[in-house]
Amino acid sequence: MRRHTLLLAGTGLALCAWCGWASGLHRSTTLAEVSWILSLAAVLAVDLALWRGRRRLRFGWHLDPVADPWPRPGRGGVRLALRGVAPWIVLFVVVIGWDVLGLDTGPHQYHLTISALSQAYRALNAALLLVWILVGIGFGATRARSPVDTEGFVSPPARTDPDTPAPGTTLSAGMITLGGHPIVVPALLLPSSPPVGVAFWIAVPIAGLVVDLAARRSGGRTPTAEELVRFISTPKAAKIALVAAWVFAGYHLFAR
């Protein structure tokens, strides 16, 4: 037990150190792309070990499957399922809405989107890379823990001065170029403060933890984060779409 704890702690420290180092790289550079590819390869290697462990193959990492799927047997029904996932839907809508509206920022400001803010603040970039890696591993673990009667799991750009638009730019944060003359457009929907945007994105995983803890005390009425991922990724097409979205997000955030 002590050896297992030390190994887990050492792996966690190494992962944090890796994310901290990689956060200092500029996107659209060879080193940034290589670091992202290495991160992707490490996640896929862990997920492959989980997949092999589910099938009791050599060099696999076995995790015990859960007893019941979600929705719980005998408590199904579309209406109950929609009611159960409602807290997660609200959280997702808020996050997507903020990221879209985050393009509406004041003049000479970074956008309040997660991709722009993570490039402006190195600590946020490191935390985002860590979350991205853990999401990839968590997805593999979630599919590996599927109930035995369901299908198992198969298988940064260099920063520029925000005050200086790039050549040919017609739309930047809070500024529109019309006929060669810049027109300042004030932010209307969200605060024109990057620190507020950082605070929002820090609050997002905290809100997710709160929903997950509440779900664990709901008696199965609301799915936990693990149950939600397993629920929405049951169809093969959904699994492929989620994996593709995760890979694209990592490439966009950390490589180019």
pLDDT digits (tens, 9 = 90+) for 198-217: 999 999 999 999 999 999 99
pLDDT value of residue 147: 86
The residues, any chain, with a CB within 8 Å of residue 16's CB and separated by 6 or more, are 126, 130
pLDDT value of residue 160: 42
Helix, coil or strand: residue 178: strand
On the question of pLDDT at 17 being above 80, the answer is: yes
pLDDT band for position 76 (cuts 50, 70, 90): low
Residue 105 burial (CB < 10 Å; 0-12/13-18/19+)? Answer: buried
Which of 130, 128, 100, 101 lies closest to 202 in space, CA to CA?
Answer: 128
DSSP 192: S
Residues 108/174, Cβ–Cβ less than 8 Å: yes
> Considering the entire predicted model, what is its pTM?
0.81
For tokens 């996050």, name the residue: 95
On the question of pLDDT at 49 being above 80, the answer is: yes
Reduced to 3 DSSP states, what percent helix, strand and coil does the chain have, rounded to the nearest 5? 60, 5, 35
How confident is the model over 177-196, as pLDDT tens digits?
Answer: 444 444 444 556 788 788 99
